[in-house]
Amino acid sequence: MLKFWYKDFPQYPQEHLEYWRSRLIQHTLLISAAFFLLLTLLNLFFFGAYRLALLDSCGFVITLAIYAWFRRTANIGVAAWAFSIMAAGLICLFVLMVGGSAHSLMWATLIPPFTFFLVGRQWGTVLSAVVFSLCAVVVYQQVQGQQAVTFSNGALLNVIEVAIAHVLIFRFYERSRTVAYQQLAGKTNQMRQMAETDKLTGLYNREKLDQTLNGLLPDITQSNKPVTLMLLDIDHFKQINDEFGHLRGDKVLTQLAELLRSQMRNQDFIARWGGEEFVVLLPDTLLKHGAELAERLRVYIAAQSIEGHNLTISIGVAQHQQNESTEALLDRADKALYQAKHQGRNQVITAQ
Residues noted as catalytic? 276
Q: How many CB atoms lie within 10 A of CB 229?
A: 26
49 neighbors 94 (Cβ within 8 angstroms): no
d(CA 191, CA 331): 31
d(CA 187, CA 310): 40
Give the type of residue at 223: S
Per-residue b or e along 27-41, where b marks 16 or more CB atoms closer than 10 Å to that residue's CB: bbbbbbbebbbebbe
55 neighbors 94 (Cβ within 8 angstroms): yes
The length of the chain is 352
301 neighbors 259 (Cβ within 8 angstroms): yes
d(CA 349, CA 345): 10
Per-residue b or e along 72-83, where b marks 16 or more CB atoms closer than 10 Å to that residue's CB: eebebeebbbbb
Q: Where are the beta strands (DSSP E) in the chain?
A: 227-234, 269-274, 277-283, 313-319, 348-350
304 neighbors 311 (Cβ within 8 angstroms): yes
Q: How many CB atoms lie within 10 A of CB 228?
A: 26
d(CA 24, CA 116): 12
